[in-house]
Amino acid sequence: MAAGAAALAAVVALSACGAKTDAGGTSDKAAQADVGGDTVKVGLLNSLSGTMAISEVTVRDSLKLAIDEINASGGVLGKKIRPISEDGASDWPTFAEKASKLIREDRVAATFGCWTSASRKAVKPVFEKNKSLLFYPVQYEGLEQSPYIFYTGATTNQQIVPALDYLKSQGKKRIYLVGSDYVFPRTANKEIKAYAKANGMTVLGEDYAPLGSTEFSTIANKVKASKADAVFNTLNGDSNVAFFKEYKSAGLTAKGMPVVSVSIAEEEVKSIGAQYLAGQLTAWNYYQTTAGAANTKFVKAYKARYGKDKPTSDPMEAAYTSVYLWKAMVEKAQSFDPEKVKAASDGITFDAPEGKVTVDGATQHIYKTARIGRIGSDGLIEQVWDSGKPIKPDPYLKGYDWASGLS
């Protein structure tokens, strides 16, 4: 018995070692980007199929728009950008595989993409090992900082904390947490619970559904029975379709019990159906309706290319912005070398559709304005509150006493 257990432990240990050395190839040598000739290759890594495709295809489209605009105005350091698009297929091991392929076979100068935190966590060691850059365009749960990732979506203190502040200011003290069962919702909810404890709010319950799950009747019943003031929704992908259908069927309304979502933007609203979402709240840094000349230009260009009825959304904007930020960094560094690009990143600014953004070199996140919006019956999101000015990124929530125990 004991010998058997020892043998089993040895097997487990061995297979764990195997997993470690396999991640991102077997060599420790950094892959060299191929920057010879008059083009520079970049990788686009998004889920073009599976449960996340609803969201990630739009990010890929937006990245292509930015690349074409830059190419039309002369490219980067005199080279045209050549995008290589790969499908992560809503499957985290596939993301790691494709990231490795982009870096080692295609030898891209930088990669743009990923949506779920699970996919980011899967590719992180690949980018670190190969010393290649990833630009990640989606809001996430914070508590992370990789030397080879630039985070152009919001971190916790630029989205989740402002959303909680907003709920508190509206007198919504008793909240219910619903999320997909993986890293982002679990970590985000840990932060929400810490915030609630410090701010006199009560978390009445938290429920997780597997990613891609479409059976929400029990969760809707639980939420209804809790008589919460509001629901904080961290569901990802098209589970939201099933959740909001069930929410309405259960007789729950945006007026009686509003849902604040942090992963539903205009594109998702359109496919879930505005009739299920009208009146519900979202927390982001950008909406299609955000005022400003840069946004007018962005929205117009996007619609001209992909269709009048295609809305723009926060992650798309952050993706679009990330390509321009990379261009500015490369031009400042006068090199495509990731180390030089990183060194040049601090203080880079861009007049983004969401307003002026600045790269914080220390965290490789960017300063962003927080915005709370209300979904209209036309499917667009109207801003009801904003933070007034870009908020300094604080991925580890160092500026908040209540977050001291989180990791």
Partner 1 sequence: MTVILGQLFTGVSIGAVLLLIALGLSLTFGQMNVINMAHGEFIMAGAYTTYVLQKSISSAGMSLLVALPVAFVVSGALGALLEWLLIRRLYLRPLDTLLVTWGVSLMLQQLARDIFGAPNVQTRAPDVLTGNITVVGGDDPLTFANSRLFILALAVAAVVALSLTLRLTPLGRRIRAVVQNRDLAEVSGISTARVDRTAFFIGSGLAGVAGVALTLVGPIGPTMGTNVIIDAFLVIVVGGIGQLRGSVIVAFVLGALQSVLEYSTTVSVAKVLVLVAIVAFLQWRPQGLYTLRTRSLV
Tell the smallest beta-carbon distance from residue 304 to partner 1 (Å). Answer: 21
44 vs 352 by CB, closer to partner 1: 44
Residue 219, helix vs strand vs coil: helix
Task: Pick from 97, 229, 246, 354 the residue near partner 1 by CB under 8 A.
Answer: 246
Q: Which is nearer to partner 1, 105 or 215 (CB)?
A: 215
Two tokens at 111?
């990669």
Q: What is the DSSP letter of 403?
A: G
Stretch that binds partner 1, among 20-28, 42-50, 105-113, 300-308 (CB under 8 A): 42-50
Site string for partner 1, 60-99 (x = CB under 8 A): ---------------------------x------------
**Is residue 222 within the footprint of partner 1 (CB under 8 A)?**
yes
**Does residue 274 contact residue 379 with C-beta atoms inside 8 Å?**
yes
Identity at 168, one-letter amino acid code:
K
Q: How far is the CB of 252 from partner 1 (least distance, A)?
A: 10
For the CB of residue 295, give the shortest distance to partner 1 in the complex, in Å. Answer: 25
- What values do phi and psi take at 381, rounded to 5? -110, 125
Q: Considering the rule CB under 8 A, would residue 249 count as an interface residue with partner 1?
A: yes
64 alpha-carbon distance from chain centroid? 18
238 binds partner 1 (CB under 8 A): yes
Residues 259-288 that bind partner 1 (CB under 8 A): 271-273, 275-276
Per CB under 8 A, 54 contacts partner 1? yes
DSSP string computed for 244-281: HHHHHHTT--TTTS-EEESS--HHHHHHH-HHHHTT-E
Binding status of residue 4 toward partner 1 by CB under 8 A: no
Q: How far is the CB of 262 from partner 1 (least distance, A)?
A: 20
- Closest to partner 1 by CB, 52 vs 299, is 52
Residue 306 interacts with partner 1 (CB under 8 A): yes or no? no
CB of 352 to partner 1, least distance (A): 26
Q: How far apart are CA 201 and CA 123, in angstroms?
A: 36
Q: Which of residues 166-185 bind partner 1 (CB under 8 A)?
A: 181
Span near partner 1 by CB under 8 A; candidates 46-54, 140-148, 288-296, 327-335: 46-54
Q: Which of residues 188-217 bind partner 1 (CB under 8 A)?
A: 207-210, 212-215, 217
Determine the size of the site formed for partner 1 (CB under 8 A). Answer: 38
- Dist CA 302 CA 68 (whole Å): 11
| Minimum CB distance to partner 1 smaller for 49 or for 289 | 49
Candidate residues 43, 50, 88, 258; the one interacting with partner 1 per rule CB under 8 A? 50
- From residue 61, alpha-carbon distances to 70, 81, 335 in Å are 14, 15, 26
Asked whether position 115 contacts partner 1 by CB under 8 A, the answer is: no
Task: Give the span between the Cα atoms of 126 and 399, in whole angstroms.
Answer: 31
Q: Does 148 bind partner 1 (CB under 8 A)?
A: no
Structure tokens at 208: 């997780």
Which of 57, 204, 343, 380 forms a contact with partner 1 (CB under 8 A)? 57
User: 314-333 and 293-306 helices cross at what angle (nearest 10)?
Assistant: 110
Backbone phi, then psi, for 321, in 5-degree steps? -65, -35
Q: Which is nearer to partner 1, 238 or 354 (CB)?
A: 238
Q: Any contact of residue 378 with partner 1 (CB under 8 A)? A: no
**Which H or E element spans position 85?**
strand 80-87
Question: Which residues have CB under 8 Å from 388's CB, separation 6+?
Answer: 369
Rounded CA-CA distance 396/407 in Å is 8
Side by side, the strands of the sheet bearing 365-366 are 80-87, 39-46, 110-113, 134-136, 149-151, 365-366, 355-360, 349-352
Q: Which residues in this chain contact partner 1 in the complex, by CB under 8 A?
A: 48-51, 53-54, 57, 87, 181, 207-210, 212-215, 217-219, 221-222, 224-225, 238, 241-242, 245-246, 248-251, 271-273, 275-276
